[in-house]
Amino acid sequence: MSSISKTSSSSSNIVAVTNPVSYPYQVTAEDAFVVVNSTAPRTINLMNPAATGFRVIIKDGSGLANANAISIQGNGLTIDSAPDYVIADTYGSVVLIFNGVEWNIIN
């Protein structure tokens, strides 16, 4: 059984959407937009190593992160100098870009 569901297109305005079906979920180079079902606390592990300039968006797709936080782990790398980042707002999201040294929060 696959642990993810992905949709993509070759159009430059359409990004690959990943809907993990098992957690913790490991972000891969194919991920652009990860929609998390936060019906329970979830963990998302960022790539290490990652290509400089790699961007990923992580979103609470179920609107329940206020009760079931989404923990994003740097996986040995920092996220704006912290080991992790937590989405705890209803329908919250974060845009992350790897700068070659650490993950940066853009939004």
Counts of helices then strands in the chain (DSSP H, E): 0, 10
Token pair of 23 as six digits: 């957690």
Say how far apart CA 101 and CA 67 lie, in whole Å: 32
pLDDT 10s digit of each residue in the chain, 107 long?
A: 445 555 555 567 888 999 999 999 999 999 999 999 999 999 999 999 999 999 999 999 999 999 999 999 999 999 999 999 999 999 999 999 999 999 999 98
Token pair of 51 as six digits: 């290509």
